[in-house]
Amino acid sequence: MKKRLLACVLAGAMVVGTLTACGSTQSAEETTESGTTDASEAGTSEAGTSEAADDSLTLESGKLMVAAEIGYPPMEYYDEDGATPIGFDMELAAAIADEMGLELQIIDTAWDGIFAGLDADKYDVIMACVSYTDSRNEEYLLSKPYVANAPVLVVPNDSDIADVTDLSGKSVAVQMETTADYVMQDQISAGVDMDLRQYEKVINAFDEIKAGRVDAVCTDTVVANYYLGDESNNYKTVWQAPEAEPIVMCFKKGNDNLKDAMEAAVSTLKENGKLGEIATKYFGSDITADIDY
């Protein structure tokens, strides 16, 4: 996820393999009325594998509704079928729901409206590579971090850009209203005369640099490593923001019981090795090993 009030990646290699379905998906504009889906169908976690769910924790009895912008690999994206949500956040959300004895429902939501949807009780929690920021912490209830993160600058290997201060006269692509976007806007305010180009999806930013239409991309570290992938010989990371912005789960203020229950589930998943297993699957190593849970 990802971002400041409207806007999330850690160094590590991406392991590409067969990815499994993690949650049922529904647009935020659709109603949330739905029956229980058979766990054998793609995208549904099997409720009841752990202790019985506490119906008072969630908006809908027996169901954990999780919002994500499904277009931010490797955290959340669609599988090759174009319909099944996969990624680190999605698989972690499924594991948390199983641990809590709840059915998981993933609600695909555009980033620019994801916090408004939380305010309007369209879902219980946002798990979309949401970065911790002080301003966001004032407006929402944030969990303990479950992944470290910071914005980075990616450039072609033959670029003369070596630092963020070298961006004057250069074009930089970002996903709009993300932490990376705001970091670059701060650089402009500090006197760096760059051409900042904002895109709706982070994939659009990487398409631009791969096509040679921009000089650099600023994004989260885990996303950068995922997108570079097999093209790591063609691109490099030349700068990382000095302030870390760890990834958290985001709840409405006052929803402490659900936050505590989901944190307890993450703690169990860390202790039994499932959290590390999911991390290794998507990043090539356990990037959660040093997280305090």
- pLDDT of 109-149, one tens digit each? 999 899 999 999 999 999 999 989 899 999 999 999 999 88
Q: What percent of the chain has pLDDT over 90?
A: 65
pLDDT in tens, 57-116: 999 999 999 999 998 989 999 999 999 999 999 999 999 999 999 999 999 999 989 999
> Tell me, what's the pLDDT at 164?
96
Same domain, 104 and 125: yes
Q: What percent of the chain has pLDDT over 70?
A: 81
State the Cα–Cα distance between residues 63 and 55, nearest whole angstrom.
8
Same domain, 128 and 252: yes
pLDDT in tens, 152-167: 999 999 999 999 999 9
Query: Is 7 part of any domain?
Result: no
Query: Is 289 part of any domain?
Result: no
Query: Is 288 part of any domain?
Result: no
Q: What is the mean pLDDT of residues 215-230?
A: 86
Q: What is the mean pLDDT of residues 185-193?
A: 97
> Tell me, what's the pLDDT at 54?
61
> Tell me, what's the pLDDT at 55?
61
Query: Is 105 part of any domain?
Result: yes
Same domain, 175 and 69: no
Checking if the pLDDT of 3 tops 50, the result is: no
Task: Identify residue 101 by its one-letter amino acid code.
Answer: G
Place of tokens 């695909």: 108
Same domain, 187 and 95: no
Query: Is 10 part of any domain?
Result: no
Same domain, 84 and 195: no
Q: What is the mean pLDDT of residues 238-260?
A: 94
Asked whether 143 and 249 are in contact (CB, 8 A), the reply is yes
Asked whether 158 and 215 are in contact (CB, 8 A), the reply is no
Nearest CA among 95, 122, 96, 139 for reference residue 5: 139
Same domain, 207 and 254: no
Query: Is 5 part of any domain?
Result: no
Checking if the pLDDT of 25 tops 90, the result is: no
Same domain, 102 and 180: no
Q: Are strands 77-78 and 125-131 parallel, antiparallel or unpaired?
A: unpaired
Query: Is 176 part of any domain?
Result: yes
Name which residue leads in pLDDT, 283 or 139.
Answer: 139
Average pLDDT, the chain: 84
Task: Identify residue 268 by its one-letter amino acid code.
Answer: T
Same domain, 34 and 130: yes
Checking if the pLDDT of 5 tops 80, the result is: no
The pLDDT-based confidence of 168 (bands split at 50, 70, 90) is: very high
Same domain, 61 and 112: yes
Count the helices and strands in the chain (H runs, E runs). 8, 13
Same domain, 140 and 262: yes
Domain of residue 261, CATH code? 3.40.190.10
Checking if the pLDDT of 262 tops 60, the result is: yes
Same domain, 160 and 137: no
Structural domains of the chain, count: 2
Query: Is 202 part of any domain?
Result: yes
> Tell me, what's the pLDDT at 227?
79
Domain limits at 218? 151-240
Non-local CB neighbours of 215 within 8 Å, separated by 6+ positions: 155, 159, 161, 167, 170, 171, 172, 209
> Tell me, what's the pLDDT at 195?
98
Same domain, 61 and 171: no
> Tell me, what's the pLDDT at 53?
57
Checking if the pLDDT of 12 tops 50, the result is: no
State the Cα–Cα distance between residues 174 and 180, nearest whole angstrom.
6
